[in-house]
Structure 1
Amino acid sequence: MNGLIEKDQELLLFLNGLGNSAFDPFWLTVTGKWFWIPFYAILLYLLYKSFPLKKLLFILIFITIGITISDQLAGIFKHGIARYRPCHTDSLISQMRLVICGGNYGFYSSHASNSFFLFSFLTILIGKKYKYLPYILFVWASIVSYSRIYLGVHFPFDIAFGAAVGFLLGGVLANLARKVVNRNMA
């Protein structure tokens, strides 16, 4: 386990070290939730164009449930595992670029989990209808996730684990939503 933690720290220092203060405002913007409101509005419009209103409401309920589970589960893991964020790890602070810092614990990243949840969920539901949407969503989720490493608030493994949880949760809930919507509202 110590070897994995050391590799995770080395990868963090490498990726975080690629940063430059000239790009800090960009990554601070990318990691913020308000910046993405126009993007979310476009996604909502695509869902609106893909489903009748009654089905759309159920899908939005599933999205809300998924984001809530993703966030709450991340909080449980953060306090249960209690792995300090890089910006709270004394042995790393002098070696890394510290742009911002969050709460004490960072395993796992709810940013990564939430963004990969949406990637997976929307790809399954409307990815075939909108040919490039899965690629756009994957790039978006990856950029949001990388921003957390760049800023020094998550280790790469926090991101990878969060992305995996979000991806799996999105897949499960998208398939469940599809069954519920198609069965009860045909």
Structure 2
Amino acid sequence: MDDIIQIDKNIVVFLNNLGTDQWDPFWLGITNQFNWSPLFILVLFLVVKAYGWKRGGFMIFVLILLVAFSDQFTNLIKNSVQRLRPNNDTEIKHLLRISKNPQGFSFMSGHATTSTFFSVFVILLLRDKYKYIYFILIWPLVFAYSRLYLGVHFPIDILVGVIIGFTLANIYYFFFKKADKKLFT
């Protein structure tokens, strides 16, 4: 396990050091959830357009619950594992270009978990309505990479977050379909 942790540290140092001062504002913007608001508004619009206000409103409510659950779930894991973020890890922080300095714990990435969870769930909701909805997967990939670029997460944090997000989205969709069937058929 120590070898895996060391490789994880080496990868984040390598990826972080590929960055430049010129690109830092771009990646700081990417990592800010607020800047993704147009994507969220587009998703809400597509849901209502595809399913109408009543059923679409229910789906939007379910999406809000998804984000709240994902946020609390990742905080529970982070506070249980308590892995330091790369920018706070005394072994490597002097090797990183630090342009963002969060103090919370690292494992697992909330950005990777929630963005993957949200995106996969949206795909499952809308795949029969919009053939290009799969492009939404670009968001969690870019969003997750921003965390590596900024040196605030390790690759394992991101990888586990993506896997957990994908898994939760499929489980959540399974239960959503049961509720949707009872309420709207």
Which category describes the TM-score, using the shorter chain as reference length?
over 0.9
Taking every aligned residue pair, what percent have the same amino acid on both sides? 32
Quote the offset at 1:52 in angstroms.
Answer: 2.3
Quote the offset at 1:178 in angstroms.
Answer: 2.3
Q: C-alpha distance in 2, partners of 1:126/1:104?
A: 34
Q: CA contact under 8 A between 2:17 and 2:96: conserved in structure 1? A: yes
Structure 1, 106-115 or 165-174: larger mean CA deviation: 165-174
The alignment partner of 1:163 has SS state of helix
Q: CA contact under 8 A between 1:71 and 1:114: conserved in structure 2? A: yes
Q: C-alpha distance in 2, partners of 1:137/1:38?
A: 12
Q: CA contact under 8 A between 1:66 and 1:169: conserved in structure 2? A: no
Gaps spanning 5+ residues in structure 1: where? Answer: none
Aligned pairs for 1:95-106 (under 5 A) are 95-106=95-106
Aligned pairs for 1:1-186 (under 5 A) are 1-134=1-134, 136-186=135-185
Q: CA contact under 8 A between 1:122 and 1:174: conserved in structure 2? A: no
Q: CA contact under 8 A between 1:58 and 1:177: conserved in structure 2? A: no
Where in structure 1 do 4 or more consecutive aligned residues deviate above 6 Å?
none
Quote the offset at 1:61 in angstroms.
Answer: 2.2
Q: CA contact under 8 A between 1:83 and 1:106: conserved in structure 2? A: yes
RMSD between aligned alpha carbons?
Answer: 1.2
Quote the offset at 1:104 in angstroms.
Answer: 3.5
TM-score (norm 2): 0.95
Q: C-alpha distance in 2, partners of 1:137/1:72?
A: 23
Q: C-alpha distance in 2, partners of 1:55/1:128?
A: 16
Aligned partner letter, 1:22: Q
Say how many residue pairs are matched: 185
Q: C-alpha distance in 2, partners of 1:173/1:52?
A: 21
Q: C-alpha distance in 1, partners of 2:93/2:167?
A: 33
Quote the offset at 1:120 in angstroms.
Answer: 0.9
Q: CA contact under 8 A between 1:78 and 1:108: conserved in structure 2? A: yes
